[in-house]
Amino acid sequence: MKKTVSAAIGSTNFIIDEDAYARLDSYLAAFRAKLHEGADTQEVMTDLENRIAELAGAKLGGENRVITLSLIDEIISSIGMPDGTSYRRESQEATSEATKSEPVVHKFFRDRDHRSIGGVCSGLAAYFNLDVTLVRVAFILLFLFGSTGFWLYIVLWIIAPTANTPTEKCQLRGIEPSFENLSKFTTSK
């Protein structure tokens, strides 16, 4: 008989085995220790917990099942280790073919980190992996020839959300929200 713990992961309540809870707790502690202390550290940790909750919820479905140690190992291997190495357990090697990672989410946001006015051009450049100068020149040319660029910029400025969290910044660029990628968007202060 195993003990279970009721725990909130990313503001979602789960029932988790005691040994799985200990592994997840040590993983989160190692992750927190690797981050540079700064304003974004809490945001990264919140995003990480939300990602863990999302993966656990997808694996468990809508059922009220218990999170096991093997599920925690699977989630940790899909996210990655804080030092950038891959995480492999003996039990996972047998199921590695059955476990496929989810597709990377690629969404458009305004990029306020590299903005000149509202972040629309820098967001488009990051989304399409273009040089931001090229996008800005295109908008200026559209503005000069019929003011289309001005109205397009205003509309995108109004409807596009801003990439505030490290996870949203990863989604803007179409990269996986792993530890290495999330830590690129933290600022040490």
Q: What is the per-residue pLDDT for 62?
A: 64
Residue-by-residue pLDDT tens, the chain, 189 positions: 678 888 888 778 888 888 888 888 888 888 777 776 655 677 778 888 888 888 888 887 766 678 888 888 888 887 777 665 555 554 444 344 434 456 777 888 988 888 888 889 999 998 898 999 999 999 889 888 888 888 888 999 999 998 888 888 888 888 887 777 777 776 543
Edge-to-edge strand list for the sheet holding 66-67: 4-9, 12-17, 66-67
Long-range contacts of 54-59 (CB under 8 A, 24+ apart): 54/10, 55/79, 55/102, 56/9, 56/14, 57/12, 58/102
Q: What is the per-residue pLDDT for 187?
A: 58
CA distance 120 to 125: 9
Structure tokens at 104: 């990377």
10 Å CB burial of residue 89 (0-12, 13-18, 19+) is middle
For 3, other C-beta atoms within 10 Å of its C-beta total 8
φ, ψ (nearest 5 deg) of residue 61 = 75, -155
